A = this chain, B = another copy of it.
Amino acid sequence: MTLPAPAQGGSPAAAAGDPRRPVQLLVAGGIVVTMDPERRVIAEGAVAIDAGRIVAVGPLAELEAAFVGLERLDAAGRAVIPGLINGHTHLPMTLFRGLADDEDLDDWLQHTIFPAEAMNVDGAFVRCGTRLALAELIRGGVSTVCDMYYYEQVVAEELAAAGLRGLLGEALIDLPSPDCPDHASAMACIERFVGAWQGHPLITPAIAPHAPYSVCDQHLQEARAFADRHGCPLVIHLAETRHELEQCRQRTGTTPVQHLAALGVLGERMVAAHAVWAEAADLDLLRDHGVGVVHNPQSNMKLASGVAPLPAMLARDLAVGLGTDGSASNNDLSLWEEIDTAAKLHKLIHADPKLISAQEAFEMATIRGARALHLDAQIGSLQVGKRADMAVIDMDAINQIPLRSIYSALVYATKASDVRSLVVEGRVLLRDRQLLSLDLAAIEAEALLYRRRILERLGLADS
C-alpha cells in the first residue's frame, strides 16, 4: 500500500517502532452517526480513513490504539455524519438565484429562465455558477450532488477539481440548448461526456433527458438504450406538476410514469426527480423497476407544484432521496432545510405528527439518498470499505442547545452554518469552515460580474 507523505502541521506521524497502523486521516472524537444497517450511534467514536476509503469505524479509544493518522480532524463534542447527498439540483443556475420569484412555473420558465439561459449560458457561465454552488454545498456539508444541466463536462471538471462527488447528467431536450443545436449533436455530446468520465473515482456521468413533456418518446427510448449500452444512470424530471400529468393523460391516456413504463424507459440506474403526481400504481412501477426518486420539498412548495406522496413511497421502501433543486427555484442549496421541511411537511399534509420521524428524514439525506442515486454500495453510511465521505457538525451552536436526541438535533435544529468540516474520498475540503479546495474571494468576485451581465442582458434594473 502506498501512503501519501505525512501532512504538514500538527499531525502526529507514526514514530519509529509505533505498532499502530498509519492511515491517511483519523476523524477523532464526537458522536459518530453511522447510518449503517444497525443505525449505530457511537457516543465517543472515530473513523479511520486510508486511500480514500473508510478502514475502521468504532469507539475512539479502540481506533486510537490501532491507528495513527498522518492527518487528524478533531470532532470532539461534535457529530460525525455521512456526507449529505443533494439528490437533485442544477448547479450553474446558482447564478440565477432570485432572478424571478412568486411566479407561475410556466411563466417562470418561459419568460425568465429560458430567455436568461439563451442569453447567458456558455461554458464560462457554467464554470462560474458551478464554483459558486460548490462553495455553498461544501460549507453546507454536502459530499455528493446529482446535477442535471448543459455543459456538464465543465461541471464535472469543477467537481473533480474541488473534490466533490457527483452524479452528473448532461441534459437532452427537444429544443436548441445552450450547448447543442439539435438532437444529433446532443447525443454526440453526451457520448463524449460519458466516455470521458466513466470510471472516475468522483464523477458518475449520466444521460439526462429533461422530462417526458420536453423530450419525445423516440428520444426517451434512445436515452434508455444509451444508458443500457453504457451502463450509465439516466436522470429525469418526472411527474413534477399537475399540468404535466394532465397533458400526459391527454396525449397518452395515462400517467407520465406509466407512459415511461410502456415505452420501456423505466429501469435500473434511473433517477427521477419530484414524482409529485405519482399515483399508487406509479409508485409500484417505480419500485419494481428499481427507480430512485428525489423529493424536493421546498422547490415544490415555492413553485406550488404539489406534495409528493412521501409516506406512500416509504411504505413501499422506495429509494427516496432529498434535493434542493436549483437556486433559481428554492433559492438556496441548504440540504438541512430540505431535511427539516420533509420531516414537517408530510406531518401537516396528512394531519399526523408521527409521520416521517427525524431519523427517517435524516436517512433520506444519507443512506436512502445514496440508494436513490444507486450509489449505496459506495456512500451514504460510515462503514468499512465505503468511500470516506463525511461531515463534522458542531453540536454546540446556540440554536442546538441543549442536545436531547442526535437525530432530532440534526433534523430540527441544525443549520448549514453548523457544518465545521467536510471530507470527500478521504480529502479534507472544509476545515473549521475554511474552504481548502476553492478560492472563495475569486468565486464571489466573478459571480458579481455575471450578476451585472445577466441583469443587463435581460434589461432589468439593478435593484
Residues 73-130 of A at the B interface (beta carbon under 8 Å): 95, 97-99, 101-105, 108
Q: Assuming A302-B353, A351-B306, A406-B463, is B399 touching A416 (CB within 8 A)?
A: yes
Q: Assuming A331-B413, A354-B102, is B444 touching A401 (CB within 8 A)?
A: yes
Residues 351-400 of A at the B interface (beta carbon under 8 Å): 351-358, 396, 398-400
**Which stretch in A17-25, A187-195, A245-253, A445-453 binds the other chain?**
A445-453
List residues of chain B with CB within 8 A of the CB of A354.
Answer: 102-104
Closest residue of B by beta carbon distance from A409: B98
Which of B332, B417, B455 contacts A412, CB < 8 Å? B332
Determine how close the nearest CB of chain B comes to the CB of A435; give it in whole angstroms: 9
Judge if A347 is at the interface, Cβ distance under 8 Å: yes
Instruction: Tell me if A412 and B331 are in contact (CB < 8 A).
Output: yes
Instruction: Tell me if B398 and A136 are in contact (CB < 8 A).
Output: yes
Judge if A198 is at the interface, Cβ distance under 8 Å: no
Instruction: Tell me if A413 and B97 are in contact (CB < 8 A).
Output: yes
A401 to B450, CA, bound (A): 11
Judge if A161 is at the interface, Cβ distance under 8 Å: no
List residues of chain B with CB within 8 A of the CB of A98.
Answer: 402-405, 408-409, 412-413
A330 to B347, CA, bound (A): 13
A307 to B350, CA, bound (A): 12
Judge if A300 is at the interface, Cβ distance under 8 Å: yes
Instruction: Tell me if A402 and B97 are in contact (CB < 8 A).
Output: yes
Judge if A184 is at the interface, Cβ distance under 8 Å: no
Q: Assuming A300-B348, A304-B347, A304-B350, is B101 touching A399 (CB within 8 A)?
A: no
Question: A101, A132, A135, A337: which has the most chain B beta carbons within 10 Å?
Answer: A101
List residues of chain B with CB within 8 A of the CB of A331.
Answer: 408, 412-413
List residues of chain B with CB within 8 A of the CB of A104.
Answer: 353-354
Closest residue of B by beta carbon distance from A134: B398
List residues of chain B with CB within 8 A of the CB of A420.
Answer: none
Instruction: Tell me if B401 and A447 are in contact (CB < 8 A).
Output: yes
Q: Assuming A330-B412, A399-B333, A416-B415, is B304 touching A353 (CB within 8 A)?
A: yes
List residues of chain B with CB within 8 A of the CB of A95.
Answer: 402
B-contact bits for A151-182, CB 8 A (1 contact / 0 none): 00000000000000000000000000000000
Q: Assuming A337-B337, A413-B97, A417-B417, is B102 touching A357 (CB within 8 A)?
A: yes
Q: Assuming A302-B344, A302-B412, A331-B413, is B132 touching A398 (CB within 8 A)?
A: yes
Judge if A204 is at the interface, Cβ distance under 8 Å: no
Determine how close the nearest CB of chain B comes to the CB of A333; give it in whole angstroms: 7
A102 to B344, CA, bound (A): 9
Residues 281-316 of A at the B interface (beta carbon under 8 Å): 298, 300-307
Judge if A260 is at the interface, Cβ distance under 8 Å: no
Instruction: Tell me if A448 and B401 are in contact (CB < 8 A).
Output: yes
Instruction: Tell me if B301 and A345 are in contact (CB < 8 A).
Output: yes
Judge if A34 is at the interface, Cβ distance under 8 Å: no
List residues of chain B with CB within 8 A of the CB of A307.
Answer: 348
Which of B306, B347, B444 contacts A302, CB < 8 Å? B347
Instruction: Tell me if A353 and B401 are in contact (CB < 8 A).
Output: no
Closest residue of B by beta carbon distance from A396: B444
List residues of chain B with CB within 8 A of the CB of A304.
Answer: 347-348, 350-353, 355
List residues of chain B with CB within 8 A of the CB of A355.
Answer: 102, 304
Judge if A139 is at the interface, Cβ distance under 8 Å: yes
Judge if A440 is at the interface, Cβ distance under 8 Å: yes
Determine how close the nearest CB of chain B comes to the CB of A56; give it in whole angstroms: 24
Closest residue of B by beta carbon distance from A358: B101
Judge if A334 is at the interface, Cβ distance under 8 Å: yes
Instruction: Tell me if B447 and A402 are in contact (CB < 8 A).
Output: yes
A340 to B403, CA, bound (A): 25
Closest residue of B by beta carbon distance from A402: B451
List residues of chain B with CB within 8 A of the CB of A101.
Answer: 357-358, 405, 408, 412
Q: 13 interchain pairs (CB within 8 A)? A: A98-B402, A101-B357, A103-B353, A136-B399, A139-B398, A300-B348, A302-B343, A304-B351, A332-B413, A333-B399, A401-B444, A401-B448, A402-B450
7 interchain residue pairs of minimum CB distance: A402-B451, A417-B417, A98-B404, A301-B344, A331-B412, A98-B408, A304-B353
Given A331-B408, A415-B415, A415-B417: 7 more A-B contacts, CB < 8 Å: A41-B463, A98-B409, A101-B358, A102-B354, A102-B357, A135-B398, A415-B416
